[in-house]
Structure 1
Amino acid sequence: MAGLALLCLKNSNKYPREEVVYMKKAIRSIKDKILTSQGTDGQLGNIYSTPLAVQFLLALGGQSGKEPCSKAIRALLEAVVQGKFSNPMMMSQLLPVLHQKTYLNLANIKCDTVANKPLSIPTTFPDLHEVAIAEKPIHVRLVVEDHNFEEVIEVPSQSSLLDVLNTAQANSHFSFETKSSLYGPYLTAVNNVVGHWQLLKDSDISLLEGHC
């Protein structure tokens, strides 16, 4: 996102040459970090940082970013098929990429033209929770380090982390609190202890999204 912002400022032609030089240097640094973050699976960082990274490379243009973009877009398409993009904020970052666009293209949109075009919005959506309940249950080991809590929780397949926490709270000596955000709920307290919590799916592997 910082890279897109810098490109927007640089392209505006409203800043002195000295400041533009610093912008270009920062943009090159961001580009290098993004390109070196690409794994063998095509992701730039992880699957949820990839859409914005691809937007930056698309906005930057040039030949050096074409192949990384192609690999990253293939990874994103696979992730879409697997249902990994269900959060509205994440989808808003992904949709421009699927149309080979970036947030910077908004500067060239004629609002009066767009406003006259009717929008086709679906009125019904599948009940994902009911689908999950219909599937075979799985067992998830929930551990709170340094708080002497460990329990195996039975939940439907494809349950979210929030589903696991709610089940644990209903059936054991466990409590938690969350705070709403555009990216979904944030975990703010566990067993009445307020703080920042690191969510892991294994001893040294971070949980990218709240799905088991």
Structure 2
Amino acid sequence: MLVLAIDTATSAVTAGVVDVRSDRLDALAERVTVDARAHGELLTPHVMDALHEAGARLDHLDAIVCGVGPGPYTGLRAGMVTAAALSHALDIPAHPVCSLDAIAAAVDADGPFLVITDARRREVYWAAYDRAGTRTDGPNVDRPADLDTSFTERVEHAHPSPRGLVRAAGEALFSGEPAAPLTPLYLRRPDVAQPGARKRVTVP
């Protein structure tokens, strides 16, 4: 099974092609650029470059895995719209995964740990995991000072890898069930708000 993995939930623009088999995951190619303002500009070129390096085309793909956050509204939307458009055009499933779970999937921990990413506004997104990488709390958004200090191991300000994204999708790729909806994990309202009703002006 050939899977395209993409994520724009962090400051990184991530795309990669992963060969998924029952006994292993082989990352064939990946493109990652850390630039919080370039998600919309770089994601499609990254997808095409990764496919080219993997010796594949879009119509070779069997599925898509997309990180759905938590993340800032603008960046997160770029990845999810791309995943939805490719899923529709190619008639293949697009599986959502929590981006923090994808980071945790690549962690080799000695005990429980936190995954923490930048939420801006002096806040962080975070989730707690047991030693096996199973999420036990979160995702949440808080100030760094409010995090549980009992977790001695922390993975901070990382970004998901294509292999971690696919691993986080787990059995969904082989279940045969329809993919879950691509529902974003914003955790807070976007900065842009709709304007309120116009004030009534009376003429004296």
Alignment TM class, shorter chain as reference: under 0.3
**TM-score, structure 2 length as denominator?**
0.22
**Structure in which a larger fraction of residues adopt helix:** 1
**Which structure is larger by alpha-carbon Rg, 1 or 2?**
1
**TM-score, structure 1 length as denominator?**
0.22
**Structure in which a larger fraction of residues adopt strand:** 2
